[in-house]
Structure 1
Amino acid sequence: MSRPGTRQQIRIQHINAGSKNAAFYASEAKARLDRGNAQGALEILDQAKQNRCMDDYTNTILAEVLQAIGPERASEIRMQHINVGNKNAAFYAS
């Protein structure tokens, strides 16, 4: 079994290399959020946006992060996705 620090190092290595794989950003943002570092999670998701690899899952994590920082913005993000017809249940569940 790998250690959490090792997993984080691998994710950060891929993120810093400009990966277009949303899974690295989602996993790192979620790990940071779970550790109570919402601002750090937001920074990772900003990098995902810059690298144009946001998807429904990273957007739901973004809503969670924003919920932790400021609930109004999180609701705004979810409603944007709902209003354009996104059928992903994650936007409706939260």
Structure 2
Amino acid sequence: MDGQDSGDTKQSTADMTQFVQTLLQQMQNRFQTMSDSIVQKIDEMGDRINELEQSINDLRTEMGVEGSPSPLSTSKKPDEPKTEEGSA
């Protein structure tokens, strides 16, 4: 009977090893799919940001304020002392 138990144990171990390998392969495939999707969405977002930036620059040029500072940079300057005072 020991021989049969040993054979069953070896088969069980082989089955478990195959199961774990299959599971890990499935997980790897899913993570790769998710990773590819995330990278694609980030690339698309970057393209949209670049298009938005170009549109803003085109509008600024049309308005004749090409040399003016960005509204974002001027709006942050008044907030900076408040942030420093609040953190001190």
Report the TM-score, using the length of structure 1 for normalisation. Answer: 0.19
TM-score by length of 2: 0.21
Q: Which has the larger radius of gyration?
A: 2
